[in-house]
Amino acid sequence: MKQFLILPALLLILSSGEIKELGPRMPATPEEAKSMQSQAAEEKGIPVEKTVEIADGVTMDFVLIPAGEFHMGSPDDEAERESIEGPVHQVKISKPFYMGKYEVTQKQYEAVMGPNPKTAFRGDEFPVENVEWNQAVLFCKTVSNKNGLKVRLPSEAEWEYACRAGTETAFNTGETINPDQANYDSNKVYQWGRKALPLDRTCKVGSYQPNAFGLYDMHGNVSEWCRDIFEKDYYKHSPVNDPVYDDEKGSRVVRGGSWKDSPDKLRSAERSKRMQGADRKFLGFRVVLEKE
């Protein structure tokens, strides 16, 4: 007789005693998210971290994001939340993928696209900023075509899943965030967070501790373009499996907050929008490398 058992993963216990996993799991803690990452790499025979060449002598680091499920959006009682962040709903990321360990740097961007004269804060290892959505997409296409890779912007759902890394709190750092954890306008606080003198500019990527998946600067530094069209009520009708609202025209989703934003704008569920042609010194991006 077959029986079903719900654990952190959905499992099928066969009459033979064999246990078979039926689908992606929902990591309940950062520790479980990290464990899922390691298990996915072992099962697929692929590395947790990989480095690929995107231009002559210029590389980019990626980390594996395992397939899984999570609660997308913010609950009604989360401080500073907006109605466009709800309702909280279940989302399934059906396939593992690689995500940029860091935001795309100026060195990486200019090796592919040439000089970006609009960059406000210079530094090879600083994130590229003042980048339009269309330029970010062209960067992905150019890298893909030149190197035989499948590089693209993350979907909004992929971004939040990767950012949360097993957390359901306002930030992947917990219920608040502090100036030693991200680059933002630290003149302001979220809940019981601390104040500090803000940098008032971008900083070198990887200057703060990563989340459980090994991703840096998912909160702050530069806001990151996603591939989705922004729709304020999308969560009310979005699909469960791998949701993405992609179209030719419309404002695009921006995630993560930036160096100039107050900490509430850095929350994992916070959503904002910018026109595709927007270029500001707080707008950057990171990329996804599809596993296959």
pLDDT tens for 138-190 read: 999 999 999 899 999 999 999 999 999 999 999 999 999 999 999 999 999 99
Is the predicted pLDDT of residue 14 greater than 80, yes or no? no
Residues 284, 19: Cα–Cα separation, whole Å:
44
Q: Name the residue type at position 159.
A: W
- In DSSP terms, 24 is beta-bridged to none
What's the confidence (pLDDT) of residue 15? 43
Of 22 and 95, the one with more pLDDT: 95
Q: What is the pLDDT of residues 225-284, one digit of tens each?
A: 999 999 999 999 999 999 999 877 889 999 999 999 999 999 999 999 999 999 999 999
Residue 168: both structure tokens together: 């359901």
Residue 113: both structure tokens together: 């696209």
Pairing of strands 283-284, 223-229: parallel
Whether the predicted model's global pTM rises above the 0.95 cut? no
Q: How many other C-beta atoms can be found within 10 angstroms of the C-beta atom of residue 1? A: 3
Q: Which of 253, 230, 73, 79 is nearest to 154 (CA)?
A: 253
Is the predicted pLDDT of residue 2 greater than 80, yes or no? no
Q: What is the pLDDT of residues 47-67, one digit of tens each?
A: 999 999 999 999 999 999 999
Greatest CA separation for the chain: 68
Q: Name the residue type at position 196.
A: A
What stretch of H or E contains 3? strand 3-6
Query: All domains of the chain, ordered by start, with CATH?
Result: 32-290 (3.90.1580.10)
Q: Which of 226, 288, 225 is nearest to 62 (CA)?
A: 288
Residue corresponding to tokens 């967070």: 193
Q: What is the pLDDT of residues 119-134, one digit of tens each?
A: 999 999 999 999 999 9
Query: Are the CB atoms for 152 and 140 separated by under 8 Å?
Result: yes
Full DSSP string of 253-287: EEES--TTS-GGGGSTT--EEE-TT---TTEE---
What's the confidence (pLDDT) of residue 75? 97
Residue corresponding to tokens 């707008």: 283
Alpha helices of the chain — where are they, by DSSP H?
30-44, 106-113, 133-147, 156-164
DSSP state of 54: E
CA torsion angle 101 284 228 183 (round to 10): 70
Instruction: Give 292's pLDDT tier (boundaries 50, 70, 90).
Output: low
Residues 288, 65: Cα–Cα separation, whole Å:
10
